[in-house]
Amino acid sequence: MRSLRLPLRAICIASAISTALAATGGTFEEGGSTLVSAMMMFLGNDQSVYILDKAEGNAAQVLGHPAWGSVWDIKTRRAVVMDIKTNSFCASGMHLPNGSYVTFGGNDAVGQNGVAGSQKNPDGTGAWDSYYQDFDGRRAIRIVTPCTITDTLNSGPCAWYDEPTQLSLRRERWYSAAEATGEGEVVIIGGFVRGGFVNRWVPNVDPATSDGQADPTYEYYPPRSGEPRTFDFLIKTSGLNSYAHTYLMPSGRILVQANLSTTLWDHNTNVETPLPPMPKGVVRVYPASGATTMLPLTVANKYTPTLLFCGGSDMPEADYAPHP
Ligand SMILES: *[C@@H]1O[C@H](CO)[C@@H](O)[C@H](O)[C@H]1NC(C)=O
Ligand SMILES: *[C@@H]1O[C@H](CO)[C@@H](O)[C@H](O)[C@H]1NC(C)=O
């Protein structure tokens, strides 16, 4: 076994959707403390912003262990901790059609200083840690129904449902992408099993799985029958395809962008229509980490999607570090 632990440089920022706080455009205002780092956040309803961190030694405590989840109230700018059982480090997430929100995958269980949790899986990765009390999150499916900070948040209908023995992904997925399908499901794409950063060896002798450290398949929530199928695009973009950029198109196909490649993907038939490579050799996925968004769909533009890609890195492929 080669590398098990993600080095500190592998910091990930998941989808960030927040409401405009500052009254004046182009200005900043101090918004209070979120209690945990906003590695991932989403707007749950018109009052609450949900925040997920990775399992780490935050001062804020919940149920006798450091917290890595919170809810931040837009009006009062106050946050309340929430209990999350599994390590949500670099999970992905999506809204469900019924208003709940779901996050997928993450890292294995870690303890202080990021070492593998005190209780190990057979392969030496962390299953659970006695200090942080986090469980292995790589197959996690966590669901929350948005409430407000005055509700009871850590039990009952407002709590995170995070029970890996009851509900879990078919594969381990860290840094996967999650996109809504036209059928009202979420498709969960790729991800790392272990390792991280740029998940391929130099030379890249195993572009599909990087020696068992990457998963080039996709699966659904709610689950569809059958085993996860291989998505060839993830093999083509090997290594530079964590947190692939995904956008559902009016046709029901999904535009997927990673490394220098873009494809229009019919996930039902698993047929791709490749689009031209990214101009000027600019990579936008993690760790090149450009910003991308879909511009507003309006009556005036007849709901025609326009995607904007900003920033990234034009570093040559060979200059990305070899596998950690
Ligand atoms: C939405 O559906 C999920 C199952 O996919 C369920 O866990 C959740 O409780 C539902 N939310 C509401 C508000 O009914
Ligand atoms: C990007 O894709 C090319 C082929 O399209 C591949 O050779 C290369 O390994 C990929 N980059 C990384 C960092 O994996």
Q: Tell me: the pLDDT tens digits for 146-156?
A: 999 999 999 99
How far, in Å, CA of 46 to CA of 163, rounded?
27
Whole-number percent of the chain with pLDDT over 90: 84
Model confidence pTM above 0.85 = yes
Pairwise CA distance, residues 52 & 42, whole Å: 9
Residue 221 CA, closest ligand 1 atom number: 5
48, 95, 98: which to mutate for ligand 1, most atoms within 8 A of CB? Answer: 98
Residues with CB under 6 A from ligand 1: 96, 98-100, 143, 145, 222
For residue 145, the ligand 1 atom closest to its alpha carbon is 13
Query: How does residue 170 score in pLDDT terms, banded at 50, 70 and 90?
Result: very high
Residue with the nearest Cα to atom 14 of ligand 1? 98
Buried b / exposed e over 48-75, threshold 16 CB at 10 Å, is bbbbbbbbbebebebeebbbbbbbbbbe
Q: Chain-wide mean pLDDT for the chain?
A: 92
> Of 193, 189, 210, 236, which Cα lies nearest the Cα of 323?
210
Pocket residue to mutate for ligand 2, from 199, 240, 314, 323, most atoms within 8 A of Cβ: 240
For residue 17, pLDDT over 80 is answered with no
Q: Which residues contact 309 (CB under 8 A, 6 or more apart)?
A: 245, 257, 278, 282, 284, 290, 291, 292
Tens of pLDDT, residue by residue over 33-53, are 999 999 999 999 999 999 999
**Which ligand places an atom closest to the C-alpha of 261?**
2
Q: Identify the pLDDT of residue 22.
A: 54
pLDDT at 9 over 50: no
Q: Which residues touch 204 (CB under 8 Å, ≥6 apart)?
A: 238, 239
Predicted confidence at residue 181, as pLDDT, reads 97
Neighbours of 173 (CB within 10 A): 31
Q: Considering only 7-21, 25-39, 98-112, which range has the smallest mean pLDDT?
A: 7-21
Ligand 1 centroid – CA 100 distance (Å): 6
Q: In the prediction, which pLDDT does 20 show? A: 47
What pLDDT, on the 0 to 100 scale, is given for residue 166?
A: 97
pLDDT band at 324 (very low <50, low <70, confident <90, very high): low
The confidence score (pLDDT) of residue 1 equals 32
Number of the ligand closest to the Cα of 286: 2
- pLDDT confidence bin for 203, thresholds 50/70/90: confident
Helix, coil or strand: residue 109: coil
**Ligand (nearest to CA of 185):** 1
Is the pLDDT score of 7 beyond 90? no
Residues with CB under 6 A from ligand 2: 198, 200, 204, 236-240, 259, 317, 320
